[in-house]
């Protein structure tokens, strides 16, 4: 049974990967869009750093440097919440030392889910769930069975923040709201070109990033990401 720090990691990951719906009631701000709020968890644990390039109406454009993620294989499911619960056990075991180096790894944020939606409401989508590898582990991240390492080159990301716990009902609405807020901007053209060219962002429709522990009732921060390349 997990105790101490292990219990904290267990609770933290379980909340991120389940949407928290089994642990807490949604907060009063659930579903409220936010822009530029710094996730409270990033004051306590490591998060990937980025440069804010532009702040628009309902979105931000960020530039992330090279990052490393440990990821599940694509999980077919009709539910993001259910797919990420499936991923939880693999990722928690990984940071607790079930990897080829038998290495315990510090908790980080966010946990991200790359979403490739199905063509119909009752068809399975595909979800790849990833844990951000701490910088000290990035030069030689521990391999593990049924997990793979993603090394992301520098990239731009269009971001929409929203509060509350992530749910299957909310993610599609938030992704659509981000797409709508970008319409008519040069960023929308860059995102479309990146996808058409088979570049950054072409492997999924959007990404859901979750930052908070289960014990944070208010000030929760989630994000929809649309990664892309930009020729400058």
Query: What pLDDT shows up at residue 11?
Result: 58
Give residue for tokens 């509350």.
Answer: 164
b/e map 184-219, b = 16+ CB within 10 Å: ebebbebbeebbeeebbbebbbbbbbbbbbbebeee
Closest by CA to 47, choosing from 128, 93, 87, 107, is: 107
Q: Find out if CATH 3.40.109.10 is the number for domain 40-228.
A: no
The mean of the pLDDT values for the chain is 85
Residue 178 has pLDDT above 90, yes or no: yes
Query: Between helices 168-182 and 80-95, what is the axis angle to 10°?
Result: 100
Cβ(100)–Cβ(10) below 8 Å: no
Residue 31 has pLDDT above 60, yes or no: no
Domain boundaries, the chain: 40-228
Number of residues in the chain? 232
Query: What pLDDT shows up at residue 210?
Result: 92
Query: What pLDDT shows up at residue 24?
Result: 33
Q: Which residue has the higher pLDDT, 19 or 183?
A: 183
Residue 177 has pLDDT above 80, yes or no: yes
Residue 209 has pLDDT above 70, yes or no: yes
Cα–Cα distance between 23 and 143 in angstroms, integer?
31
The Cβ-side half-sphere exposure at 50, using a 13 Å CA radius, reads: 22
Cα–Cα distance between 192 and 177 in angstroms, integer?
16
Tokens of 100: 């080829």
pLDDT tens figures, 141-176: 999 999 999 999 999 999 999 998 889 989 999 999
Residue 78 has pLDDT above 60, yes or no: yes
pLDDT tens figures, 87-120: 988 999 999 999 999 999 999 999 999 999 877 6
Q: How many separate helices (H) and strands (E) can be counted in the chain?
A: 4, 11
């Amino acid at each position: 049974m997990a105790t101490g720090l292990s219990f904290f990691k267990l609770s933290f990951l379980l909340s991120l990967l389940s949407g928290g719906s089994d642990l807490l009631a949604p907060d009063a701000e659930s579903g409220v869009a936010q822009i530029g709020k710094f996730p409270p968890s990033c004051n306590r644990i490591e998060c990937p750093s980025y440069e804010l390039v532009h702040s628009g109406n309902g979105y931000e454009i960020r530039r992330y440097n090279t990052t490393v993620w440990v990821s599940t294989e694509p999980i077919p499911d009709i539910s993001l919440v259910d797919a990420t619960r499936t991923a939880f056990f693999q990722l928690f075991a990984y940071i607790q030392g079930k990897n080829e180096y038998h290495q315990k790894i510090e908790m980080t944020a966010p946990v991200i889910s790359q979403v490739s939606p199905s063509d119909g409401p009752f068809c399975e989508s595909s979800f790849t769930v990833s844990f951000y590898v701490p910088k000290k582990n990035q030069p030689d991240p521990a391999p593990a069975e049924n997990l793979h390492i993603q090394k992301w080159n520098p990239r731009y990301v269009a971001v929409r923040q929203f509060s509350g716990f992530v749910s299957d009902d909310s993610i599609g609405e938030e992704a659509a709201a981000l797409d709508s807020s970008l319409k008519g901007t040069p960023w929308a053209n860059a995102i479309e070109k990146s996808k058409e060219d088979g570049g950054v962002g072409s492997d999924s429709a959007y990404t859901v990033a979750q930052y908070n522990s289960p014990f944070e009732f208010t000030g929760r921060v989630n994000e929809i990401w649309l990664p892309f390349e930009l020729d400058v």
